[in-house]
Amino acid sequence: MNIPILSTKLYIPQPRSNSVQRPRLIERLNAGLDRKLTLIAASAGFGKTALISEWAANCGRRVAWLSLDKGDSDPVRFLSYFVAALQTIKEDIGTGVVDLLKSQQPPPIESILTALINDISASPFKFILVLDDFHVVDSKEINEALSFLLEHLPQQMHLAIATRENPPLPLSKMRARGQLNELRAADLRFTPDETALFLKGMMRLDLTADEITALESRTEGWITGLQLAALSMQGRSDIPAFIQAFAGDNRYIVDYLVEEVLELQPNHVRAFLLQTSILDRLNGPLCDAVTGRQDGAVQLEALEQGNFFVVPMDETRHWYRYHHLFAEVLYAYLKEEQRDQLADLHLSASTWYEKHSFSAEAIHHALAAEDFARAASLIELAWADMRRNRQEAAMLGWLKAIPDELVRHRLVLSVIYAWALLSAGEIATVEERLQDAERWLEMADVHETTESFLEGMVVVDKEEFRGLLSSISLYRAANALAQGDISSAMKNARRVLGLVPETDHLRRGAAAGLLGLAYWTSGELETAYHTYFDGMANLQLAGNLSDVIGGSIALADIRIAQGRLRQAMHIYERGLQLAAEQSEPAMRGTADMWVGMSELCRESNNLPKALQHLMKSKEQGEHTGFPQNQYRSCVAMARIKEAQGDLDAALKLYAEAEQLYVSDFFPNVRPIAALKTRVWLKQGRLDDAFDWMREEGLSVDNSLSYLREFEHITMIRVLLVRYANGLADHRSFSEAREFLNRLLQAAEEGERMGSVIEILIVKAFADQLESGVSAGLVPLQRALSLAEPEGYVRVFVDEGPPIAALLEAALKKRIASHYVRRLLTAFGQTKPNVPVKQNISEQLSERELDVLRLLRTDMSGPDIAQELNVSLNTLRSHTKNIYGKLEVNNRRAAIRRAEELGLF
């Protein structure tokens, strides 16, 4: 279900030709355009919308407009309209975000706004975005999103907000920074001159100067009060007496004037006003459906022409709305005078909206009518589309408005409730909802008496009912995984696979994916990989290609944990290829692929390429990344900074990553706190590192688990460095070494070769501390043999001088000489017996250097020989000499070695 976009909400109200012009306020608004935010805040009836519409027509900039209503408190709906408003001035702004909002797993709002900010920054012109009636929006998430937007707002955009209440935005900070331009009620009140123009020119009242002054004084320039007073005076012969009576308590002015206005209207107009006050928007057919009459369009046009608080919402005068204050007062009178008709009026509106495919509005009016059974049925029918469009917030709000007893007696609705709670992170009561549905299912033999069972209860979506058992198990598996109950997650995921047919690729894919994640969390990596791979294959058959691309993240992470870096790179490249084969230029998940490849390039010590891949990810836009992409990108940049030696910048990025972390079903096997602790060790902040150990409850007495493996390796690092600096005794050192041996055994048994390599390097350091260099070379040699085929570099280099010294010793003993030379080059070491650029350059002849440069091209051997004007045998002799001096045995290795030494 695409969220219907009512173009009327994007319509900029046109200023009336006979309205009072307000140049003093327009000048103030224009003067604030160099700031980020214009805030026009005042209670109802102060002309906020009229002023901004006049400004929009005279500010000299393009203007986008969004008229808000209560339904816009749902973040997905708000963002959909937000983007639609932007696209009225530049149609390609947020095009990727529109697709993202329809996806099943959108990223956080900040990620979506980041993509919008990037699009806005590319705008060739400056513009204003107006959010009118912002006070109707009640959403902490939306307020936080706008705060983020204002913090990072490009200079191309100026935001204007009209509201009755102060919005919960960082106004004080913006005020202090000179980023806020604000107009309040005192600024908006009509001056005596403006009051005279309004009453005489617009309302056509023949009043004396004293009468105008009296009205201006008693209304304090309140525009709607003046308008209501003027309407009440039309046709009166006793205007002086009326003005005198108007001097009553201002708290009752609105009630008094509306009563006067309503009593002066014909009965049919009065009835129309009251009955249609239930509507946020009005058009002729909708009003006819509510009132049971046939004159809705004519009546709306007449009300507009009579200045009767009716605001047109489009240029064709098809859609209107009442002035909000006027609508509120009308509705109050309706409830007082015709309370028994309220439910029927709301039901009529609900029926009309349902017929015209406005599901959200149909549900809203059904709830207002307290016809909860109807609302429940509408929700059930809307579920599939809303699930696809990730409108959990709206769905959950509706379900909470329905009496709980009704929900519990509708098994499909109970499962929907469980989904909404799970999606919103409210996992504590998910199981209770699933059990409610399960109890209903136990009352019937689903396989034999389904139809008779359905006759005895309310099931609107029968197709969903038939797959309910598998849905219950699927959500139960996801809920268990979110709570760390791996056994239950596996049990329920397997149950789904046993229930659904082979052709149900969507459910089978989701279940296999959850099962694979459970295996991963428990450390069974090979089983996890193949199970998760099967899940992605099913999702691909179901057409969920974006999820398949995103699944590459998990598959690559598992291979990295297994020490298979080259396979991980292949997985990322395949994900990008799959995305490129689609019609869209940047499918969701492509940004994550570039971040993953960046991490692998950093490990191989190709830092420029690692940075290049991160920039490519940003160019794709955050909307093409999954929820964790911003977090992963921040960690990747932190590790690059760490590799560059900028430890303070790395810590700052790690702190930023902590704020970006979004919990998902992937196991968090490398907690940020442990990564920060490793930087502290490099900085010599041993007390901070030791405090981290105690805060996390880490000790050599802990049981081993894959989820804490990275933390335990970090803990051993802390203990060894403390011992090396004389801060721990030999007993503690021995306990640390014993624990390290246990870690190594567990990692080897789990075939987690990535951990095995790191543990061996740490063990080399420990053995060197205990028994000298020779002892340290034993585990180091094994680490080198495991790491070399996969191209590991930073895992050694990040260890610093202790491992550099061991590598130098390894080189002397001719242990993995070529690989060790490469690592020492990365360290920046230059020992006499290690060939460096100058020595190699001196060893290679000019002709050999010429051959080496041509080997770097795509030219074949015969072509190179012809280019150099030598025989093919002579070329082969030169090539053999080059290979010997570079200690390589093929052309590709020679080029790579020459690049490492900077010979080109």
pLDDT at 39 (0 to 100) = 96
Mean pLDDT of the chain: 86
The mean per-residue pLDDT over the stretch 749-758 comes to: 96
Residue 428 forms part of a structural domain: no
Question: d(Cα 323, Cα 67) in Å, to the nearest integer?
Answer: 12
pLDDT in tens, 240-267: 877 776 644 334 456 655 666 677 778 8
Same domain, 75 and 182: yes
Check which CATH number belongs to the domain holding 615 and give it. Answer: 1.25.40.10
* CA gyration radius, the chain: 35
Q: What does the block give as tokens for 220?
A: 């304090």
Q: What span, in angstroms and rounded, lies between the C-alpha atoms of 346 and 369?
A: 5
Tokens of 889: 């045995």
DSSP state of 201: I
Question: In the listed set 642, 666, 690, which residue is the last one of a domain according to the structure?
Answer: 666
Judge if 63 and 155 occupy the same domain. Answer: yes
Per the rule left: phi > 0, alpha: psi between -120 and 50, beta: everything else, 283 is beta
Question: pLDDT tens digit string along 369-391?
Answer: 999 999 999 998 888 777 655 67
Q: State residue 264's pLDDT score.
A: 72
- Domain residues for the domain of 853 are 836-904
Inside any domain, residue 24: yes
Same domain for 101 and 223: no
- Per the structure, the count of domains in the chain is 4
Statement to judge: residues 94 and 198 lie in one domain: no
Q: What average pLDDT score do residues 732-742 get?
A: 96
pLDDT by residue (tens digit) across 7-42?
Answer: 889 999 888 766 788 999 999 999 999 999 999 988
Does residue 122 form part of some domain? yes
Number of C-alpha atoms within 13 angstroms, CB side, residue 661? 17
Say yes or no: 79 and 212 in one domain. no
More confident residue, 365 or 217: 365
Q: Is residue 506 part of a domain?
A: no
- For the chain, give the percent of residues with pLDDT over 90: 49
Question: Do 883 and 895 lie in a common domain?
Answer: yes
So what's the pLDDT on residue 828?
73
- Reported as a single tens digit per residue, the pLDDT across 551-579 is 999 999 999 999 999 999 999 999 988 88
**534 CB-contact burial (10 Å; exposed 0-12 / middle 13-18 / buried 19+):** middle
Q: What would the two tokens of residue 652 be?
A: 């700052």
Is the same domain home to 16 and 119? Answer: yes
Average pLDDT over residues 881-901: 76
Provide CB contacts within 8 A for 605, sequence distance 6+.
643, 793, 794, 797, 826
Residue 81 inside a domain? The answer is yes
- 8 A C-beta contact, residue 42 and residue 188: yes
> Which among 832, 828, 868, 863 has a CA at the least distance from the CA of 850?
868
Residues 112 and 233 occupy one common structural domain? no
Give me the residues paired with residue 852 across strands: none
Q: Specify if 660 maps to a domain.
A: yes
Rounded Cα distance between 786 and 759, Å, is 12
Among the residue ranges 99-103, 657-661, 822-826, the one predicted with the least confidence is 99-103
Which of 145, 171, 188 is at the close of a domain?
A: 188
Please report whether residue 629 resides in a domain: yes
Provide the pLDDT for residue 216. Answer: 81
Same domain, 649 and 624: yes
pLDDT tens string 566-625: 999 999 999 988 887 875 556 778 889 999 999 999 999 999 999 999 999 988 876 777
Query: Residue 429 domain-assigned?
Result: no
* Residue 112 structure tokens: 């979506």
Tell whether the model's pLDDT for residue 716 goes beyond 80: yes
For the segment 766-780, the average pLDDT, to the nearest whole number, is 92
Q: pTM for this one?
A: 0.63
173 shares its domain with 221: no
Query: Do 196 and 221 reside in the same domain of the chain?
Result: yes
Q: Is 228 helix (H, G, I), strand (E, B) or coil?
A: helix
Question: How far apart are the C-alpha atoms of 106 and 622, rounded to whole Å?
Answer: 11
Residue that finishes a domain, picked among 156, 188, 220: 188
d(CA 146, CA 167): 10
Q: Are residues 171 and 239 in the same domain?
A: no
